[in-house]
Structure 1
Amino acid sequence: MTHSVAVPIIAATAPVYAHPGDAGADLVAAEAVRLEPGQRALIATGVRIALPDGYAAFVVPRSGLAARHGITVVNAPGTVDAGYRGEIKVTLLNTDSREAYDVAVGDRIAQLIVMPVVQARFEAVDVLPDSVRGEGGFGSTGYTQGKSE
């Protein structure tokens, strides 16, 4: 069962879900940009939205662009807060060390995921409660060649 929320939008090309049930709606470029190897650029989408309170949108990379061309979103996920009314722009990075990548107007460059969020109420304490994981951080669950645990 898919839930939906009304999101007012101003856009020449509104984000579109490629398939029923998809989490991310495709954002398209509103300008043409050439990304040289290792270069990043802030790309306009022409999309402005008004998220309801209690929601945020997250700009994430498109897996096909990453896999085929090494194109990713630098600050993924980029957070769009409910109070923001400006244009959503996407900072793309060409991670390919040899090939430039041309972004044309109308190219799908990222996905937008709209999600409900809660605001934390941070409460100062002297000691945190114990947990099974404890203070184990990066790599604390181990690593085996060929599979991660």
Structure 2
Amino acid sequence: MVQIKLAWDEGADQALGLPAYQTSGAAGADVRANLPDGAVVIAPGARVLIPTGLKMEIPVGYEIQVRPRSGLALKHGIMLVNSPGTIDSDYRGPVGVIMMNAGEIAFDVTHGMRIAQLVLAPVVQADFYIAEDLSETARGDAGFGSSGEN
């Protein structure tokens, strides 16, 4: 098991607790909105950065992916704009979640609400270079939507 060091952001409500896995087989740990000053309303079509109250130290060779919660998406049309978001191992600032309301009515993000999932993932960096030519494949340069009808 990989350990992730956490620190509370200034003014955060520490009583909310740390990100937590809801089941023994869960890939993502739920993180909560840390809004000690009250709820934030997301109007239809709007996006808002919601604080988690946390900072973290992720080991080199890993990232944390910030992913949406399916229940919020299905029931309310709430999504994460840049899903999955990435928290890099060298970032030490406050962790926020960019939420967007794709629904038809305003949505209240309340203090302590589970707003996203944090998934630890390994990172492999590439060595990019220019080559004289690229190998051939059956697909070739066929682009968007070219791999099938559906």
Given the two structures, how large is their TM-score scaled by the length of structure 1? 0.89
Which residue of structure 2 aligns with residue 138 of structure 1?
Answer: 144
Residue from 60, 75, 100 that aligns with 1:53: 60
Task: Give the Cα separation in 2 of the matches to 1:27 and 1:132.
Answer: 43
Q: Does 1:16 align with 2:27?
A: no
**Displacement after TM superposition at 1:10 (Å):** 1.5
Match of 1:75 in 2: 82
Query: What is the aligned-residue RMSD (CA, Å)?
Result: 1.2
**2:79 partner SS:** strand
* Partner Cα separation in structure 2 for residue 137 and residue 125 of structure 1: 21
Deviation at 1:136, TM superposition (A): 2.3
Q: Distance in 1 between matches of 2:143 and 2:61?
A: 30
TM-score, normalised via structure 2 length: 0.88
1:7 corresponds in structure 2 to: 4
For structure 1, the residue ranges without an aligned partner over 5 or more in a row are: none
Cα deviation for residue 94 of structure 1 reads: 0.5
Report the 3-state secondary structure (helix = DSSP H, G, I; strand = E; otherwise coil) of the residue aligned with 2:53.
Answer: strand
Is the aligned partner of 1:106 residue 2:112?
yes
Give the structure 2 partner of residue 43 of structure 1.
Answer: 50
Match of 2:101 in 1: 94
- Paired residue secondary structure (1:66): helix
SS in 2 for 1:137: coil
| CA apart distance, 1:110 | 0.7
Query: How far apart are 1:38 and its partner, in Å?
Result: 1.2
**Structure 1 outlier segments of 4+, above 6 Å:** none
Matched to 2:62, the amino acid is Y
Shift of 1:87: 1.1
Deviation at 1:134, TM superposition (A): 2.0
- Percent identical among aligned pairs is 46
2:123 is the alignment partner of 1:117: yes
> Number of matched residues?
140
| Secondary structure of 1:122 counterpart | coil
Q: Which secondary structure does the structure 2 equivalent of 1:19 belong to?
A: coil
Output the amino acid matched with 2:44. Answer: P
How far the C-alpha of 1:133 sits from its partner, in A, is 2.7
Report the Cα distance in structure 2 between the residues aligned to 1:102 and 1:137, rounded to whole angstroms. Answer: 40
Q: Which runs of 5+ in 2 are unaligned?
A: 9-13
**CA separation in 1, counterparts of 2:127 and 2:91?**
22
